[in-house]
């Protein structure tokens, strides 16, 4: 486990020099080794040469569309990619997540938010020590025995609820878009038919959240999808 001791190489693909500078200051202070690329092509080259452990990718790049950069990176790499996006561009976020981005963060963001996101992305990118057992906060899911426990007490789930939960567990910490969930669980390609999904999310929250009105586990990402929050 030598890599964890070394500084993580983080590649920032962003055209604004000021943002790059600030990210470098903030990230280097927090233990990352920062590499920069100002264009999409440059970013892809840097990713090949440096083999970074994490990539921050801005979608608005001067030479090629950020989404295309993402797709080309995903052709050969599973490196965690965090998208820098702006408010009101839910379609971009969905497109990026569907194309293999691990998460997104909306500009302008605070340093704290960014660091938290980076931690989450890295955490779920790591292989879990005990892959059949998942825990987050009060929730524990044993994929081998198909048991779901909340504060140690077994929760009964229907088949659909369970497969929905398993999907979230498999992608814990990551935002799943409505389309992704509908495809996986209902085999549907009609992305705007979110009705059953909303209903089942309601059921799951009823059973798993301590306060379903203020979900702590299964949070809504407005206009994009849902995320199962990773808690220690």
Partner 1 sequence: MTPPGNNEHCLIAVLVGENPDPEHVVRWSRTRAERLQSPWIVIYVETPRPRREAEHSQLTRSLALARELGAEVVTTTGDDVIANLLRIAKQRNVTEIIFGKDRGASWWRRLRSDVDLRRLLRDSGDIVIHAVPVRDEGLSLAVVPRRRVPRARSTLPQYVMAVGAVTAVTLAAFVFAPVVGAHATALVFLLAVVLLAVVVERGPALLAAALSALSWEFFFLPPVFAFRVSHFEDAMLLGMYFVVALVLGQLTARIRAQEEAERRREERATALYLLTRELSQAGNLDQLVQKIVRQMESAFDTQVAILTPDSVDGLKVHPASTLQPTLQDQQALASALAQRQNSRKFSENLRTQDMYVPLGASERPLGIIGLGLRGPLSMHRQNLLEAFSQQVALAFERHHLNEISDRAKLLAESERLGKTLLDSMSHEIRTPIAAIKSATGNLAEFSVNSLQREMIGEIEQATERLNRLVGNVLEVSRLESGNFRPRLNECDVTELIHVAVAETEHELAHHKLSLHVPADLPLVRMDFVLMQQVLTNLLSNAAAHTPPGTAIELSAKVEDKSLVLVVADTGPGIPVESLGRVFNKFYRAPNAPTGGTGLGLSLVKGFVEAHGGRVKAENRQGSGAIFTVYLPLEATKTPA
Between helices 66-74 and 40-50, what is the axis angle to 10°? 30
- For partner 1, which is the closer residue by CB, 59 or 124? 59
- Residue 2 CB, nearest distance to partner 1 (Å)? 29
Distance CA(46)–CA(106), nearest Å, equals 24
Distance CA(67)–CA(196), nearest Å, equals 29
Count other Cβ atoms within 10 Å, centred on residue 21. Answer: 12
Query: 179: phi > 0 → left, psi -120 to 50 → alpha, else beta; which?
Result: alpha
Distance CA(121)–CA(98), nearest Å, equals 16
Between helices 66-74 and 90-98, what is the axis angle to 10°? 10
- Residue 109 CB, nearest distance to partner 1 (Å)? 7
User: Looking only at residues 18 through 47 of this chain, which bind partner 1 when binding is defined by CB under 8 A?
Assistant: 18-19, 22-23, 25-26, 29
The site string for partner 1 over 153-192 (x = CB under 8 A, - otherwise) reads -------------------------x------------xx
Distance CA(189)–CA(191), nearest Å, equals 6
The site string for partner 1 over 98-137 (x = CB under 8 A, - otherwise) reads ---------xxxxxx-------------------------
Taking CB under 8 A as the binding criterion, the range among 17-25, 32-40, 132-140, 167-175 that sits at the site for partner 1 is: 17-25
- For partner 1, which is the closer residue by CB, 140 or 188? 188
Which residue ranges make up the site for partner 1 (CB under 8 A)? 16, 18-19, 22-23, 25-26, 29, 60, 86-88, 90-91, 107-112, 178, 191-195, 198-199, 201-202, 213-215, 220, 222-223
């Amino acid at each position: 486990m030598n890599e964890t001791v070394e500084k993580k190489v983080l590649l920032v693909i962003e055209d604004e020099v000021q943002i790059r500078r600030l990210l470098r200051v903030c990230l280097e202070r927090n233990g990352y080794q920062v590499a920069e690329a100002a264009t999409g092509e440059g970013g892809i080259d840097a990713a090949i040469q440096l083999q970074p452990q994490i990539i921050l990718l801005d979608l608005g790049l001067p030479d090629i569309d950020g989404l295309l950069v993402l797709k080309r990176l995903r052709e050969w790499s599973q490196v965690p990619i965090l998208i820098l996006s702006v408010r009101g561009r839910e379609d971009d976020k969905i497109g990026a997540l569907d194309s293999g981005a691990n998460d997104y963060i909306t500009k302008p963001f605070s340093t704290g938010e960014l660091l938290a996101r980076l931690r989450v992305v890295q955490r779920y990118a790591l292989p879990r020590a005990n892959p059949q057992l998942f825990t987050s906060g009060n929730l524990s899911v044993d994929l081998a025995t198909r048991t779901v426990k909340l504060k140690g007490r077994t929760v009964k789930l229907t088949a659909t609820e369970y497969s929905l939960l398993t999907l979230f567990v498999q992608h814990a910490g990551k935002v799943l878009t409505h389309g992704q969930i509908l495809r996986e669980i209902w085999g549907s390609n009609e992305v705007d038919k979110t009705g059953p999904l909303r209903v089942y999310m309601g059921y799951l929250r009823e059973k798993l959240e301590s306060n379903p009105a203020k979900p702590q586990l299964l949070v809504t990402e407005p206009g994009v999808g849902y995320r199962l929050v990773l808690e220690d």
